[in-house]
A and B are shown apart, each in its own frame.
Chain A
Amino acid sequence: MAGKDDEYDYLFKVVLIGDSGVGKSNLLSRFTRNEFNLESKSTIGVEFATRSIQVDSKTIKAQIWDTAGQERFRAITSAYYRGAVGALLVYDLAKHVTYENVNVWLKELRDHADNNIVVMLVGNKSDLRHLRAVSTEDAKKFAADNNLSFIETSALDSSNVELAFTKILTEIYRIVSNKALESSENSNVPSSQVVSITPTSKDEANGGGCC
């Protein structure tokens, strides 16, 4: 069995979504196992992987669910959005239609995910320079207008893959730790303001919830 990475301070559930063939599974395998496979089999339903990273000397464990892109699987994949604190919404920057469909995926998230989910728009396949169909400026502007963070990656040549995951996990961590700070400073926060992003820290995961 692989070495346990059970020591963590935060556990964040993140989903990978986007059209079929944009490279979701390869982004995941590049990030978690440093592997890339040009002809990897299509994802059926959902697949799972994890990796831990360090932020501010805290260990953050990402539990990542890679979903099938085909529409027929939407019913099963959307069930995994619940409880996710982050989503990487991936398109293929060499296929414009996968970028156009980003709106469809945003709607999916609005319908099925927590309101506070952190979404990062990821333009994958930046190695295909001569085939680019979506400009960086357009995507950047779209991301800003929709309050998403944005990055371009290549799972094939590894560029920005590490950065993409680190960025979104750090962003989630900042939100969560600030909220934790706020609520400890101000004990009469109305309950409606309590973040619906609820990370499971190791202590909480171990149960002893009643104090």
Chain B
Amino acid sequence: MKENDYSLHKIEQFEELINTPNIDLGKLRKLSWSGIPNQFRPMVWQLLMGYLPRNQDRREVTLARKRKDFADTANQAFSKGVAGLDYTLYHQIHIDIPRTNPSSTIYQNKKIQKSLERILYCWAIRHPASGYVQGINDLVTPFYYVFLSSYLDSDLDTYDINSIPDNVFEAVEADSFWCLTNLLDGIQDSYTYNQPGIHRQVQKLEEFIKRVDLKLYNHLKKEDVQFIQFAFRWMNCLLMRELKLENIIRMWDTYQSEPDGFSEFHLYVCAAFLVKWSKDLLEMDFQDIMIFLQNLPTSDWTEKDIEMLLSEAYMWKCLFHDSPNHIS
């Protein structure tokens, strides 16, 4: 991960806050909203996701219990090897793992692939109402990446993965599982039958764009572009197909600091994201719009671009949040 340049003052504030015996989560959210320095991110994410207890005395025992709980589930599910698994479910996960982040070497490592398989499989059997849905494989990777990085003394992307001890993998696996679980608990109806959560989100996005960028809205209507055609993926994968992992990680600092970051705030982020391309889109016809939106030019995006996006989303949230009639 890239070294980030947070001010000494901010680093001291984090240092001080996370060393208090009973962490004030409100303060932590406030501080984290504008980005978490790398060295604190694994712990802070676990606190903000409601996984790591804010009370220092309870941490060790809670972590031990949670990690054992996950290990028991995984060991039981995989006790008979692949033959004992639900074939359809396992097969879908198994073919999705190698193509989760194909350009990144760490996700091509067999050990990491097995680990991600166990997380997704266990999550799916514990959540039969939705089961595994493609795209959830993307959502586990920020947790996995951030948590695994914290155990290593150099950059994960160039690290000799096979030298990492098994107990590290076990801890990272369990922690990622629980954080993914907590994230998905808030947006589960995005993945249940007919994916009602996504349809609702896309509908809200459309209504919101109509209010804030009528010209763009009218142009998309005129060209017969339906929001579901491009925004479905934005909701299903939380923009992870649109932005680089390092951008997403920064974005999740803020998402986790917002009360409904992965649902409501994400909607405002999507709106800001779409409006960002408004000028380009207004010049295009149906075909060009579709192709452009499927492959947005974000590969050179930096933290600055993400922060701009987040501030715009925040501004809209403040303007519209307390007037729900504006968007519903």
Contacts and interface: CB of A to CB of B under 8 A. Distances in A.
B50 to A, nearest CB: 27
Given A1-B284, A44-B232, A46-B229, A73 B134 contact: yes
Contacts of B228: 45, 76
B98 A72 contact: no
B102 A39 contact: yes
Given A44-B241, A49-B291, A70-B92, A39 B98 contact: yes
Given A39-B98, A70-B92, A44 B135 contact: yes
Nearest to B101: A41
B287 A44 contact: no
B232 A41 contact: no
A20 B92 CA distance: 8
A82 B294 CA distance: 21
Contacts of A70: 92, 133-134
Contacts of B236: 44-45
Contacts, number: 67
Q: How large is the interface on A (under 10, 10 to 19, 20 to 34, 35 or more residues)?
A: 20 to 34
Q: How large is the interface on B (under 10, 10 to 19, 20 to 34, 35 or more residues)?
A: 20 to 34
Contact of B195 (A20, A41, A42, A76): A76
Contact of A39 (B99, B194, B229): B99
Given A20-B95, A40-B99, A42-B99, A48 B294 contact: yes
Interface string B270-284: 000000000000011
A68 B134 contact: yes
Interface in B179-195: 191, 193-195
Interface string B186-207: 0000010111000000000000
The secondary-structure label for the interface of chain A is loop
B195 A48 contact: no
B134 A20 contact: yes
A33 to B, nearest CB: 10
Contacts of B131: 72
Given A1-B284, A21-B95, A44 B134 contact: yes
A1 B95 contact: no
Nearest to B290: A48
Contact of B99 (A41, A48, A75): A41
A116 interface: no
A186 to B, nearest CB: 33
B233 interface: yes
A147 interface: no
Contact of A41 (B102, B133, B290): B102
A44 B234 CA distance: 9
Contacts of B135: 42, 44
A177 interface: no
11 contacts: A1-B283, A40-B99, A41-B241, A44-B135, A46-B229, A48-B290, A50-B287, A63-B287, A72-B130, A76-B195, A76-B232
Q: Which 5 A-B pairs have the closest CB atoms?
A: A39-B102, A45-B232, A44-B233, A21-B95, A48-B290
Given A20-B95, A41-B100, 14 more contacts: A20-B92, A20-B134, A41-B102, A42-B135, A42-B137, A44-B135, A44-B237, A45-B228, A45-B236, A48-B291, A50-B287, A75-B193, A75-B195, A76-B195
Interface of A: 1-2, 20-21, 37-42, 44-50, 63, 68, 70, 72-73, 75-76
Interface of B: 92, 95-96, 98-100, 102, 130-131, 133-135, 137, 191, 193-195, 228-229, 232-233, 236-237, 241, 283-284, 287-288, 290-291, 294
